[in-house]
Structure 1
């Protein structure tokens, strides 16, 4: 929990230390160890630590293959969640093909029971959209994006990832009709969200408003786990801005 809070509070160095301390204490094969492996993977990726991120990602994927599809509870862990975190990590590392594969696996698991985790499903759909946009498929990216932002439940992660998807589409496909439609919809919802105040995190109040699109900085693509990680930043805890590594 502490590592997650620190990560969304734009303190990845402290988040990494918290996750490393937790891993050292967690029983082998426990739910805590699996969740912390995910925290290590995406935090190392945000910091640009390619090799440690790859090691943690491989550990997480090994667990995901043996996990139950879904699990309820704030401190639970299941395959759908693990594959989704793996997709986030891959996007931060610039591995779009790998991110798409992991997000596809997560969506397949979520599809087994559409009632489970609508917020996490939306986050995964947005990450799948970002991967598709980077890989040259804006139509599919918009399809995933529209499905995600149609959910009546929003978290800071949905705000950030929808912003990243919108920025990627606008920059890469500025003349595409589907992109213009998506941008218009997000802009409308941005107006609805304009009055939202205070700090948003995945673990706090879910706000039933729109999304705050904000252009982020860059896009990259590299062979899976081949090095050259990128550092990314987030100010979600203050202004629901995008995870720049996802753009």
Structure 2
């Protein structure tokens, strides 16, 4: 009897709940899910802002880019937390927030701000995860891997690139970039066999990539060649490094206006200078390094690589007056 009574009570409660769940209630729930205080133009403006920042990134100094990117990132925060929006809009806002944090992480990398790089990469990963757009996290790991590599943390660079590969859409731009990151991280670790295996994977992409690619999130064949130059130098293959660097420099110099990449050109020039140094050509190394230091976009990664070159030249050619003069020039430039 107790069981029968309990079932009667439960059934009555269920019927009562069903009576409350009328078509009108369902319609109200539907309407509530679409309520928003956002203007239709808000998301379009954010999309345009991300596109513009990415497209103009390589042509502007990081100090000039920072205020614009930071202002747009704060704009997204305001829309997320102070304006009502639908679930679909919440995902879009999360995606824009994540990509703006990726851009801010790149700017912080160019400025040599380690803590900011990590903070914005973490934010981009979280925003992308919450929005259900994990590709954002892949782009964040592309920044993190690059920054770790230039910060002399090759194992961290490999971990970041591998983590990014897990969430990058198959054969998408982020996946291509990260495959090349994996290869050069192995090279920096001195693991020649692993590098060769990973480089094959990256070169399989290279065969079907355009030679030129515009924008911060683009991919092109020359990037992989440029990564090869650095990788061969780290592995002690100076001849191969010189050939790859010369090829990359030739392509970068021939890029039409919208595709120019002054930072990547300068890095390739420093790689070539390192190869000249290793091959017993200090004068050629210094001349090439001066070209890199004349870059219109002299960011932290170029300065750091130039300092490494200076130390190498000083060690290999301690009695060379041209080497000593270059070291003095570099000291003055970096102090300024």
Which is greater in Rg?
A: 2
Between stretches 175-184 and 85-94, larger displacement belongs to: 175-184
2:175 counterpart residue number: 33
Q: Which has the higher helix share?
A: 2
1:53 counterpart residue number: 195
2:295 counterpart residue number: 151
Contact 1:57/1:89, CA 8 A, preserved across alignment: no
1:2 counterpart residue number: 141
State the superposition RMSD in angstroms: 2.1
Q: 1:153 to 1:56 in 2, by over 3 A?
A: same
Q: 1:4 to 1:139 in 2, by over 3 A?
A: same
Any stretches of 5+ residues in structure 2 without a counterpart?
Answer: 1-139
Q: 1:114 to 1:150 in 2, by over 3 A?
A: farther
* CA distances 1:187-228 after superposition (whole Å, capped 9, x unpaired): 211322xxxxxxxxxxxxxxxxxxxxxxxxxxxxxxxxxxxx
1:104 counterpart residue number: 246
Q: CA–CA distance in 2 between the matches of 1:90 and 1:4?
A: 22
1:183 counterpart residue number: 327
- Write out the 4+ residue segments of structure 1 that deviate beyond 6 Å after TM superposition: none
Any stretches of 5+ residues in structure 1 without a counterpart?
Answer: 193-247
**Greater relative contact order (CA < 8 Å, ≥ 6 in sequence):** 1
1:210 counterpart residue number: none
Q: CA deviation at 1:106?
A: 0.6
Q: CA–CA distance in 1 between the matches of 2:152 and 2:286?
A: 28
Q: 1:187 to 1:103 in 2, by over 3 A?
A: same
1:21 counterpart residue number: 163
Q: CA deviation at 1:34?
A: 1.6
Contact 1:61/1:82, CA 8 A, preserved across alignment: yes
Q: CA deviation at 1:134?
A: 0.3
Q: Give 1:96-175 correspondences, 5 Å limit.
A: 96-113=238-255, 115=257, 116-175=260-319
Contact 1:79/1:109, CA 8 A, preserved across alignment: no
After TM superposition, the score normalised by the length of structure 2 is 0.53
**Residue 43 in 1 paired to residue 201 in 2?**
no
